[in-house]
Every structure is written in structure tokens, then in C-alpha cells.
Amino acid sequence: MASPSRSALFRRFFEQLGEVSELAARTFRAIFGKPREGEIFFQQLEEIGLRTLPVVALTAAFGGLVFGLQSYYGFHKYVGQGTEAYGGPIIAVGLVRELIPILVGLMVAGRVGSSMAAEIGTMRITEQIDALFTLGADSVRYLVAPRTAASILMLPCLTLFGDFIGIVCAHFYNVALMGVNGTVYLRNTLMYLDLWDVLSGLVKAAVFGALIAIIGCWQGLETEGGAEGVGRATTRAVVFASIAILITNFFMSKFLPANL
């Protein structure tokens, strides 16, 4: 089979960008409009928030430990013995501004974005989306808006939780395992870690939340074929959301102010 030409691929890319942008616009209109699907919103809060807590705790814990480890060795090797406690604020800022929002975003994309694509994709191929229309429910208002709103709200909560776990684990590694001076470590961390550092990570997380939900739902709504189509939509949802998170993160890191 002949592969599509470069211009066809280019056109397809912009068509898809147009589709997802239109879906995003309709979703935000539905989130701020009425009627709202409160019951589904609360179900999704539980699905995205509560049920993702264990995986976020685990990834944040090991993210914090490995950051703590690298910081310890960096200071120990290049700055000198006894300076390891100065790594505290570097670890904390790195975690809350970059590592934890990205880890949480990728974990939620894998766990929740894929399940949104699979659930909505299955609804698409079993005509449940068509049934929604015939029964007076708009699929964007009923399916996409509550998932997106819940995702935007829960990602920052999960990130804040992850920040805490990551910082505690980095502290544990340095102070409890490597014998770094705990008082200096903590004082330095509190002195140099700004509220804006934490907030900028939470802003990123909210944007990642919107990306994960809209891309997951978009792939679900676009599903064609049978089980194979659902599988393809699920994979694409995770891949597209992960790429979108990494690209958006770079630009947000670049353009969000370093301080307020």
C-alpha cells in the first residue's frame, strides 16, 4: 500500500488540530454553561483523584528519592563534603516546578486518559453516543465536559499531594539515610522555596488535566471499527497526551514568570 504523501500528512495534522480545538471550545462552553452533569462530575473526581492517589504517591516518592540521591552526590562530589544540605531548595524547586507535575500528568494520561478513550470509544462503536443524541443529551456536555472539569480540578490536587510526598522522600534520603544536617536542609528549603514555585507547578498541572481529558475524549469520540479501533484510540490517547504534556511543559516553563 502506498504511504500517504507529505502534504496529505500535513493536511491531516491540521485537520486533527482543528477537530481537537473545536472539541476544546465546545467543552469549555459546556463547562461554563447549563445544564451541568453534576453526578458524572463527582464520579470523575473520584475516578481521577482518589483512585490515582496510590500511583501518584508511588511515583512521587521515587521521584523525590532519586532527586534527593542525585542532589546529594552532586553536592558531595562537586561542591564538597558538608554542603549536601544546600541541595534541599534545589530539590524542592525542581520537584514542584517540573518533575512532579510532569510525572503526575504522565501517570494520569496513562491511567485516566486511556480509560476515557476506551470507555467513550466503546460507547461510540456500540452506538451509545448515537443513543445519547436521540435521548436529548449532547455528548460533549454529557461526557467530555464533566471529565475535563474534574481533570482540571484534580490534577493540581494530585500534584500538590505529589509535591509533599516527593519533598518528604528527598528529605528522608538526605537526612535519615545519608546523615545530612536536617535543620540546615529544612531551613534552606523553606528559605528558597517560593509559593509561586508551587503555584506554577499547579497551573501546569491544571493545563495538563485539560489536555489529558480533551485528548482522551477526542480519541474516544473518533473511534472507528471494533475492538481494534478502541485499542488504537486508547494507545493514541496516551501517546498524544504524553507528547502534548512534554511540549506544553517546555513552553510553560519558558513563558511562566520565574517569580511573581
5 lines the binding site for other proteins (CB under 8 A): no
Q: Are 158 and 108 in contact (CB under 8 A)?
A: yes
Cβ-based nearer residue to other proteins, 3 or 134: 134
**Contacting residues for 163 by C-beta, under 8 A, at least 6 apart:** 60, 95, 96, 100, 198, 201
Alpha carbon distance 119, 130 (integer Å): 15
115 lines the binding site for other proteins (CB under 8 A): no
**Contacting residues for 128 by C-beta, under 8 A, at least 6 apart:** 122
229 lines the binding site for other proteins (CB under 8 A): no
In whole angstroms, the minimum distance from the beta carbon of 36 to other proteins comes to 13
19 lines the binding site for other proteins (CB under 8 A): no
Cα dihedral 206, 208, 209, 211 sign: positive
Determine the residue type at 116: M
In whole angstroms, the minimum distance from the beta carbon of 41 to other proteins comes to 14
In whole angstroms, the minimum distance from the beta carbon of 128 to other proteins comes to 5
Cβ-based nearer residue to other proteins, 46 or 127: 127
Cα dihedral 243, 248, 254, 256 sign: negative
Q: Are 122 and 172 in contact (CB under 8 A)?
A: no
In whole angstroms, the minimum distance from the beta carbon of 133 to other proteins comes to 5
Q: Are 117 and 236 in contact (CB under 8 A)?
A: yes
257 lines the binding site for other proteins (CB under 8 A): no
134 lines the binding site for other proteins (CB under 8 A): yes
Question: Of residues 8, 127, 226, 258, which one binds other proteins by CB under 8 A?
Answer: 127
**Contacting residues for 161 by C-beta, under 8 A, at least 6 apart:** 53, 56, 57, 60
Cβ-based nearer residue to other proteins, 36 or 187: 36
Within 136-165, which residues bind other proteins (CB under 8 A)?
Answer: 136-138
C-alpha cell at 258: 520565574
Binding span for other proteins by CB under 8 A among 71-79, 127-135, 161-169, 243-251: 127-135
135 lines the binding site for other proteins (CB under 8 A): yes
Cβ-based nearer residue to other proteins, 16 or 126: 126
Binding span for other proteins by CB under 8 A among 4-12, 124-132, 163-171, 189-197: 124-132
Cβ-based nearer residue to other proteins, 127 or 228: 127
Distance from the first to the final alpha carbon of the chain: 55
Binding residues for other proteins (CB under 8 A): 122-123, 126-128, 130-131, 133-138
